[in-house]
A and B are shown apart, each in its own frame.
Chain A
C-alpha cells in the first residue's frame, strides 16, 4: 500500500507537468547532434535545487530518458546519431527513411523506446539490489573484453569485409589515445599541438564522423535526401504496432539485455544497442536485410538503449556507482538534496526514491504521444525541405553543436577534420561506424586493459589475469563467435549449396 502512495505522489499535477516538460525538452535536445543528455541534465540541475527533491529528480529523469530516445530522430532522418547510443539506429533507420518509411521508422522507434524504458524501470523497481551484485562481478579484464566485444560486433556487422571494419575500429581506438592517457597521465599523440591535449571529444568526433559525410553526399549528388512520405500518411501506428507484435521476442530480449548491460557502470547504451542489434540479426531468419531498412534493427537498438536508463540507475542508487555521466550528475543532485545512496536507500529514503522511479516510468510513457507528434512533424519537415535549406541548416547545427560541448572552436575544427577524413575512408570502402565506436569505447578498453596488465604483472601472470573467471571466458567466447561466425556461416552455406547440387545431379 505504501508503494501505491508513492505512485500517487508521482501522479500529482505538478509532477506530471514537470515530467511532460522534461520529455519535450529532452526529446528536442537529444535530436540535435551535439546537445547531449549530459549537457541537458547538467544545465538543469541547479534549477531543481529550488524544487521539492522528488519533483526535481522526476524532471531530471524525464530529460535523461527522453534525450536518449531523441537521438533516434537524427539517426533516422539525417543518418546522424543524436547520441552515441543511437549509432546502431542509423543502420536500418536511415535506409527506411530514404525509401519513404521515415514516419513508420520513427513510430517503431518510439514504441520500442517506450517498451524498453518501461522494462528497464520495472526491473529497477523490482530487482535493484540483487542486480547490483552482478555489476560488482565485473573487474578490469571483464570491462576490457566487454569493450572489445562491442568493437568486434560492429566490425562483424560491416557486411562484406570484416577486416576493414576491424581496422576502422582500431583507428577509433587510436583516436581515443590522443591526449592525456586514461591511466598514467602521459600526454600522447598530440604532435606538440596544445589543442589536442584534452583529446578528441567523443561527441564532437561523432558529429564529424556522421554529419560531414552526409553533407558532402548531399551536395555532390542530385538524388533527393529522403523520399517524400508514402501515400500511407499519419503516424502509421497500426502498421508499427503489428510489426512490433510480430517481433515481440526481439523486443523483450533486447529490453532485458539492454537493462542488464546498463547495470554495468560505463557500458551504457552504445554497447547495449550494438549487442542487441547483433543478436537480433543473428536470430532473424532474414538477416541479410539488416542494414538495408529492417524494422527489427530499430526495435532492437531503441528498446535496448532506453532500457539502459533503468539498468544504469541500479548501481547508481544501490551502490553509489554511476554508470553514465547523466547518472553521475543525478547522483550528485541526490547528494545535494541530502539523500544518502546505498543499499538502504529503498528503505530509508523510500518516498523520494520510489517517487523518482515512478516519475521515470511516467516520463517514459509520455514519450509515446510526445515522440509521435514531434516525429511526424520532423519527418514531414525534413523530407520536404529543399537541399538548399537542409545543407546549410545541418552545417550550422554541426558547427554550433560541436562548439557548444566545451565552448571551444578546437572541438569544431577536430569535428570538421575527422568528418572529412571519415568521408575519405568511406569512399575507400572502409565503414565509418566502427571508427565512432572505437572512439566511444577506447577509454573503457584502455582502462580495463592497463589495469589488468598491471595486476597481472604484479601477480606474475599477465595472460592469466585476462582469462580468469567465467565472465571473461564467456566474453572471449562471444568475441570469437562474433569474429568467426560470418566465416562459419559462409562455409555452411557453401556446403549446403554443394550437397543440394549433388542431390540435383
Chain B
C-alpha cells in the first residue's frame, strides 16, 4: 500500500468517525434540527466508504497531483503554526499593535529563506510596523472597530 493510499484510508476513517459524531449529536435534537445533520452524516459516511472500496478495488492512483510532492521544510511550518497560536493568545493581553509587531518580527525570521541581511531586515520590520499602525488606525478610526489595546491602554 503506497503513501497516498494510507493517507486516503486515514482520511476516510476520519470522515466516517466525523459522520458518526454528527449522527450521535443529532440524537439530542428536535426533528427540525436533526433531519439535515442526519442526511449530511449518512452521506459523508457513505462517500467515505465508497472511497475506501474504490481504493481497495482500483489499481490506478487516486489523485494525480499529490503523489509527486516537492520536499518541504516541515519545521518552518510547525514554527509558523506555533507563532500564530502564541500571537492569538497574546492578542488581548498585549494588545493588537504590540502583539502583531512581535509576531511580524518572528514570522519574518521564519519566512526568511536566505542569509539575514541587517539593513533589509530592519527595513521590512519598519515597513511592517507602519503597515500595522496604518491598518489598526483605519480599523479604529474609519471602520469604528474597537481593537484590544492591551498594555498600551
Contacts and interface: CB of A to CB of B under 8 A. Distances in A.
A43 B144 contact: yes
Contacts of B143: 35, 39, 43, 404
A370 interface: no
Given A174-B22, A177-B22, A223-B70, A395 B103 contact: yes
A173 B39 CA distance: 10
Interface string A202-245: 00000000000001101111110000000000000000000000
Task: For chain B, give the interface size range.
Answer: 35 or more
Contacts of A220: 72-74, 76-77
B56 to A, nearest CB: 13
A412 to B, nearest CB: 6
Given A396-B132, A446-B36, A450-B36, A387 B112 contact: yes
Contacts, number: 198
Contact of A399 (B11, B39, B84): B84
Contact of A177 (B7, B36, B91, B104): B36
A45 interface: no
Given A400-B135, A450-B36, A389 B62 contact: no
Contacts of B111: 218-219, 387-388, 390-392
Contact of A160 (B64, B85, B96, B107): B64
Contacts of A445: 36
A160 B41 contact: no
Contacts of B120: 386, 388
A397 B128 CA distance: 11
A181 interface: yes
A396 B104 contact: yes
Contacts of B77: 216, 219-220
B131 A450 contact: no
B113 A389 contact: no
Given A392-B111, A395-B107, A449-B35, A412 B91 contact: yes
Nearest to B50: A163
Contact of A163 (B10, B54, B148): B54
A70 B148 CA distance: 28
A177 B37 contact: yes
A289 interface: no
Nearest to B85: A416
